[in-house]
Every structure is written in structure tokens, then in C-alpha cells.
Chain A
Amino acid sequence: MTPTTTETLSSHAGGLKLWLERYPFLPALIIVVALLALNGAFSPNSLGYRSLTGLLSTYMALIMLAIAQTYVVSAGDIDLSAGATLSLVNVAIVVLMEKWGGGAGAVVGAMLLGVLLGLVCGVINGIVVAALRLQAIVATFATSIFFTGVALYVMPVAGTPAPALFWRTYGGRLLGLPFVFYVLAALALLLFLLSRTRLVTQLLAVGDDQQAAYQTGLPVVLIRIKGYALCGLFSALAAFCLTGDTASGDPLVGGKMTLYSVAAVVLGGSALAGGWTTVVGSLLGALTIGLVNSLVFFMGTPSEWQNFVQGLAILFVLMAGVLAGRRARA
């Protein structure tokens, strides 16, 4: 009975709506494809295997950070310290890997501690926002200052190089394929596994209506803390990708990335108010930012105008993302 009703009710526009409901990242995908086509039109080389791999390894850190942001946004929160967490993990693993000799053991050990550090940062944010009930925007801004301070303590000046083993692996090939492809595959698997957990559904429930979630018996505070912990975890993963790409430590590297991560989430079609998010969309949103930047370059924009055109283009796709996302939810 139900399927028939849906069928009769859905006009042409309704069909589109169903599609959007099932695949909320579709508008973002269309934007990414369009940007790829434009990039190709201005510079056919930019669609080559090599340039696309390069784009992916440069923007993998932002992709991870955007996904990190998505989990807190799901619960209706925001994390302005994600970039600072990334910086902290970046300098911490670089210093540790150097201290432990830069061998395989050192790399693995430092990465494990990096993940732990990211989780700790996330839990601190969660406690501050959910348990102490401070307003997320200002509280995570305060923790971002604190994390930046710790990062500066670990490494006062940028420039300590990461061991060759680390960045050669990240930028190199494995069994004939670029290593970033394996990173992407691992990320896809991780996202798939996470999407089957109860936590992601609970985060969305909290983001949709916190009071209702509480009244159905969900431990709202704990769920929000877990959301922030997940954000910290992915910020740490973002730090790994960034370290692989830049091959060095920089205590202030992530500061500028925070707002881009928020933008990527919105570009992907998620609602900042929470309750409706898509990690695939955020991934595409981060790619959109990367593609806009390279398109502006390939179009031959004079260098002093590049930032302005990028800013304008991102503002327009942001608006498009919000409008398309609303259509899907309406």
C-alpha cells in the first residue's frame, strides 16, 4: 500500500525530492562535476591522473576536517577548534617521530598517540559544551586558543621536518596506485562502518530536536561529547594527511582551515542547525573548495584578483548549497 501512495503522490518535482532525500549530497556532486568540467575546459591537463591525484592529496586534510565538523554539526553543535586540534596533532606527531628516530615504529607510535591526542581534545570540547553547557561557538573558540597555546609549547616555530618515511609513503605509490587512493578507500570504509553505528543516528536525533531526544531517554550530554570526540578523531586523521602533504610541523597551520571546514559542510548540503547532515556531501564540499581554487588559477585570473574571485565563487556555491539543501528537506 505504502509504495503506491508514494508513487501517486510524487509528481515530477516529488521524484526529485525523493532523490534528494535519499542522496542529499547530489547538488554537491553536480557542483563538483561541473567544476571538474570547467577545470578541464580551461586546462585539459588539470583532469589528468597526476593533477587529480595531486589535488586529492592536497585537499585530503580539508576533507577529513570537514567530515570531523560534520559529526558535531549533526548534533546541532559546531567546533571552531577543529583547526587548532589539527595543528596540535601535526606538531605533536612531527616532534615525536623525530624524537623516536623516524623509523617505522616511531611513525606508528606517534600516530597512535596523535589519535589519542585528537580524542582528548574532542572530549575536552564535548565536556565544555555539553556538560558545562557553554555556548558552542564561543567555548570552542576559547579551547582553540588553548590548543594553539599547547601547540606553540610543543613547537614554538614552524619548520621541523617530518621523517622522510612518513611523507614519502603519503606522497608515493603502493602496488602501483597512489597512496592517497588507499587513504580514500580506508576513509570510505570507515565512514560506511560509522554510518551503521547507533551513535550517528543518535547524533542526528539530538540535532533534530534535543528536547525530544532527551525525552525518549537518550543520554543527550554523553552523545554530544561522543560527537565531539569523533570530531577530534577525524581532526587527528586530517593532521596525518596534512603532515604527509607539507612534510613538516607548523603550530598555526590549521587555524585558517576551521572556517573552511564549516563552509565545506554547508557546501555539501548539510544543515548547520543540525539533524540533517551528509558526510559524503562534506567530502564533496571540501573538494569544491579545492576545485574552485584551481579553477580560478587555470582561468588565468590575475594573481591579485584570485582571492576575491575565490571568495565570491565560494559565497555563491554556499548560497546554492543552502538553497538546494532546503529544497531537499522541505
Chain B
Amino acid sequence: MNVAISFLKKPLVIALLLIVALLYLGEGLSPGFASADQILRLLIVASLLGIVAAGQNVVILGGREGIDLSVGGVVSLSAIIAGNVMNGADGGILPAVLACLAAGAFFGLLNGLGVTLLRIPPLVMTLGMLGVLQGLLVVIRNGIPSGRAAPGLSAFVTQPLVLGIPGIIWLWIAVGLFMAFMLSRTVFGHRIYAIGSNEHAAYMAGVPVRRMRIGLFMISGMFAAVAGLCLLGYSGSSFANVGEQYMLSSIIAVVFGGTSLAGGKGGYTGTMAGALLLVILQGILTTVNIDESGRQMVFGATLLLLMLFYGRGRAMRA
């Protein structure tokens, strides 16, 4: 019995149960919601969020109030860079990928340097960086057209690739396997948990804390850049601030996955379920016929309700 209860209390299990429940609810509210086609579409949207959340996840795991508010800006920037580099030609995909990764890594590096060398709290540093990125987007958009996705990229994101499943979902699965491997099987992964749960002890044990933390922010920037690239493939062309929605929803996906914002505890498998949960919830709210105000109220209230299932803080004890 106790085993069963502790099993049911695992964030991943909670998220999966909620996902199934929501799919049933969606199917009940509007028949066809849980059809294979629809689920594939939800999975595509979830993989975009999930890839951003992967970077957010490692930054949060690394502790010291780690958080990356600039991911939304990087997603938008990457979409616009990719659109201009490839400009509708398949031959431009590889240069676009490289350019996006470089941009993501660059802004991650700046975040990391500010957080480690100047010891600016991550929230402040990445908030300031978000402002810079938003300004940069205005500059770029005024100078050049927004650019188009290459057909190959669009097909990768929206068309079936292998076994009837689009390439982006395979990419997300690959990201999931990579993260699981990195976090549980590599020295780097173990060090993330080490600096996240006790930075000082990790430092004493010889972990290069600063370099690690800079690396985490660079990983976050690069994942956001990949998501921006895929987002361009999903929507065909980039438009103003496409990435903005990912800032806080990537954090919520991480929290729904059972990773504590305090750092050092959690993993990516739960975050994947969290991203899916969030996307299904939004999907249901768009299918249901209520106006925008009701949708927002229900969304906000449901988020709060769902949070009650996860990592609540400890009660004060004397």
C-alpha cells in the first residue's frame, strides 16, 4: 500500500495520470480531440515547448536561484536568424542551424558570465538580457524581411518522417534520451546536481562551479535556439515575438515535471510530461467554446490547482 502511494506521488506518474485524464476530458468535451492526428499535433507543439524546457531545466537544476527568463527572446531571435539565413532554400538549413546555435550559445555565455563573474542573480541578469534581445529583434526586423522557412525544415516539423511520426517528435525523443543520459550517466550531469544542491561542497570537491554554470546557461541558450528554428519550420515565417510565450511556460513545464525551483532535485523525463500536460490543457481550452476571458480564468485556476500536486514548500517547524 505504501509503495503504491509513494509511486502515485512521483511527479512523473502524477503528470502522466493527469495527461490521460485530460485526454479523456478533451475527448468528452469535443469528440475527436484524442484522435491520433490531434495527438500528433499536440505532440508537435509540446516538443517545441519541451525543447526550450530542457535548457530551462538544467539551469534550474544548477541551483542558486537559477532561472533563464531570456529563453523567449532567444527563441524569437533564432527564428528570425534562421529565416534569413535559409530564406526558403533547403541548402541553407545547415548554415542556419549553425548560426542559431552560435547565437544561442553567445547569449547564454553572456548570461553565464554575468551570473558567475559579476554574481548578478540569474533572474535579474536574464531579465536584463531579455530587454536587450527584444530591442535587438526590433533592430533586425526593421533592417531585413523576416525570412521564410526552407521546405525541408517545414516538412521535418509538420510532415511524418519515420513510422508516421514527424521529425521534430523524434528530435524531442532524442533530446529526452540525451538529457536522461547526461543527467544520470555523465560526470557533467552529476556535477549539475552537486552544484545545485550544495554549491560550496561541490566547489570544495573540486567541481569547476563557475565554468559549469556558464555551460548551463549556454546549453539553455542553444536549446532555445533549436526550438526557435523548429518554430520557424512550424509556422513557415517568423513574426513579432513568437518566442515570448515560452518564457514562463517553460518554467511551469519544469515545475510540473517535479523539478524544484530551488535546484538540485528533479530530472527531464518529468519535464517532458509537464510540457505535454501544459500543451494538452491549452489545447482543451482552445477547443471548448468559451470566450477569451473565461479561457484565461480557467487556465490560471487550473494551473494553480495542478501546482498543488507538486513540490509544495515545507511547512515551518520550530
Contacts and interface: CB of A to CB of B under 8 A. Distances in A.
Interface residues of B, number: 53
Interface string A129-152: 000111101110111111111111
Contacts of A138: 248, 251-252, 255, 261, 303, 307
B315 interface: yes
Contacts of A143: 300, 304
A191 interface: no
Contact of B131 (A149, A156, A311, A326): A311
Interface in B118-135: 118-121, 123-125, 127-135
Contact of B121 (A133, A259, A305, A322): A322
A272 B65 CA distance: 10
A312 B297 contact: no
Contacts of A307: 134-135, 138-139
Contacts of B255: 135, 138
A211 interface: yes
B106 interface: no
Contact of A311 (B128, B308, B316): B128
Contacts of B307: 134-135, 138-139, 142
A187 interface: no
B291 interface: yes
A220 interface: yes
Nearest to B65: A273
A201 interface: no
B134 A142 contact: no
B291 A145 contact: no
B261 A322 contact: no
A263 B126 CA distance: 11
B67 interface: yes
A308 B119 contact: no
A282 to B, nearest CB: 14
Contacts of A132: 308, 312
- What is the predominant secondary structure among interface residues of chain B facing chain A? helix
Nearest to B143: A304
B95 interface: no
Contacts of A144: 300
B92 interface: no
B240 interface: no
Nearest to A310: B135
A309 B131 CA distance: 10
A265 B137 CA distance: 26
Contacts of B311: 135
A318 B128 contact: yes
A92 interface: no
A315 interface: yes
Interface string A148-186: 111111001000000000000000000000000000000
B111 to A, nearest CB: 11
Interface of A: 80, 128, 132-135, 137-139, 141-153, 156, 210-211, 214-215, 220-221, 259, 262-263, 266, 272-273, 304-312, 314-315, 318-319, 322-323, 326
11 contacts: A138-B303, A141-B252, A142-B304, A143-B304, A145-B300, A152-B292, A266-B124, A273-B121, A304-B138, A308-B136, A311-B135
The 10 closest A-B pairs by CB, nearest first: A146-B300, A149-B296, A308-B135, A149-B297, A315-B128, A145-B300, A311-B131, A307-B135, A152-B293, A304-B142
Interface of B: 65, 67, 69, 114, 118-121, 123-125, 127-136, 138-139, 142-143, 248, 251-252, 255, 260-261, 291-301, 303-304, 307-308, 311-316, 318
